[in-house]
Amino acid sequence: MTDTTVLTLAKEAVKICILLSAPLLLTALLVGLIISIFQAVTQIQEMTLTFVPKILAMILIFILTLPWALKKLVTFTENLILNIPNFIK
């Protein structure tokens, strides 16, 4: 296994990680921003107001993106397993 192969595998793994976490992180960011604006406008400073909608939105996005994420992970894993003979050389 050469240095280039290891770096390529690490790069692909990081890319998959970022790609799979992006929907959840962006959802949390957008919902948090909307709730913060709402709290600033109405001057309601309730802590549960930030967490409950954010958690619900993230659960919804997780459920909606789960088939896509699993497909990406399975494809990545299949490519790794199929290329094991090439890595050994």
Q: So what's the pLDDT on residue 61? A: 97
Kind plus residue range of the DSSP H or E element containing 86: helix 84-88
If one counts the domains in the chain, the total is 1
| Structural contact between residues 76 and 16, judged by C-beta atoms closer than 8 angstroms | yes
Whether residue 41 is contained in a domain is answered as yes
Whether residue 89 is contained in a domain is answered as no
Tallying the residues shown for the chain, one arrives at: 89
Which pTM was predicted?
0.80
Q: What is the 3-state secondary structure (H, E, C) of 15-69?
A: HHHHHHHHHHHHHHHHHHHHHHHHHHHHCCCCCHHHHHHHHHHHHHHHHHHHHHH
Q: So what's the pLDDT on residue 3? A: 87
Whether residue 88 is contained in a domain is answered as no
Whether residue 74 is contained in a domain is answered as yes
Region 72-86: mean pLDDT is 93
Query: What would the pLDDT profile of 15-70 be if each residue is shown by its tens digit?
Result: 999 999 999 999 999 999 999 999 889 888 887 888 899 999 999 999 999 999 99
